[in-house]
Copies of this chain bind each other. A is one copy, B any other.
Amino acid sequence: MPGSIQSLERAAAVLRLLAGGERRLGLSDVASSLGLAKGTTHGILRTLQQEGFVEQEPVSGKYQLGAELLRLGNSYLDVHELRARALVWTDDLARSSGEAAYLGVLHQHGVLIVHHVFRPDDGRQVLEVGAMQPLHSTALGKVLSAFDPVAHNEVAEGELAALTARTVTGSAEFESVLELTRSRGWGSDLEETWDGVASVAAPVYDRRRMPVGAVGVTGAVERLCDADGIRSRLVAAVRDCARAVSRDLGAGRF
C-alpha cells in the first residue's frame, strides 16, 4: 500500500484530539500534544476552521470541533444501508419489548451506535447515536466479538477493563463467554458495563452471510431478567428482530 497523505493524517489526528479532550484546546496544546511545530499546526487548524470542521472561540482563541462534522455525520446515517433497513424493525422491537433498542456496528476498538429507539412511555432520555460502547462488556459488543473475526481481533488486542464488579476481565474466561455466545446465537450483559443495567443482543448478517452489526435492547436488570437470567421472551424478540433485518439485507432464510 502506497503512503498516505501526511497533512490529512495530521488533520485527522487534530480532530480526534479535539474530540477526545473534554474542554477546548489552544493552539499550543494541540501542537505539543501531536509533536508538531506551531506553524504547521496553525495551518492545519486554519484550514479545518475554514472548512467548518473546527471552530474557534473568538474571545479565548481556543479551538473545538465544528458544526460541519455534525452535518456530515448525519449524512453518513442517511446513506447507511443497514440502519435504513433496521429502522422499522428496531421500532417494533422497542415497542414489543418495552425497552430501548439499539443497533451497533464495529468501529475501531468498540461498538458504534448507529440507531437508538427510546424506551416507550419513558420521559427524558439521551439519544446515544454516535456514541461508542466497549466490545468486551456489552451485549452488542460480545455479539460482534463472537461473530466478526475483525472485532475478535480488536478485543483480543485490547485491555478488558473492569467497568463494574461483574465485568469479565480474564481473556480465557472471555473466550468461553464468546463460545457460549456463538453456540446459543445471542449475547448478554448482566451489569458488566453499568451497575443495574442489562442488555441482550443478536447478530445481523448481510447478503453474503457476513456479520455486519448487532441489534439489542438495554434496560434495568430488574425488568430484563427473571430468576433464570434474561427473560426468554426478550431473547426471542431480539433474535426475531435480528433475523428480520438480516432478511431485509438479503441474507435469505435461516
Contacts and interface: CB of A to CB of B under 8 A. Distances in A.
A79 B24 CA distance: 8
Contacts of A64: 76, 79
Given A8-B47, A67-B114, 17 more contacts: A5-B11, A5-B47, A8-B8, A8-B44, A15-B72, A16-B72, A52-B107, A52-B108, A64-B76, A65-B75, A67-B107, A69-B69, A69-B75, A70-B73, A71-B107, A71-B112, A127-B129
Count identical subunits in the complex. Answer: 2
B12 A71 contact: no
Interface in A20-77: 20, 22, 24, 43-44, 46-48, 50-53, 64-77
A112 B72 contact: no
Main secondary structure of the interface of A (DSSP, over half): helix
Interface centre among A16, A73, A74 (most CB of B within 10 A): A73
Interface residues of A, number: 53
Contact of A73 (B5, B118, B130): B130
Q: Considering the complex of A and B, which 6 residue pairs feature the smallest CB-CB distances, nearest first? A: A73-B73, A74-B130, A19-B75, A12-B51, A65-B76, A70-B73
A48 B12 CA distance: 9
Contact of A69 (B52, B76, B127): B76
A71 to B, nearest CB: 6
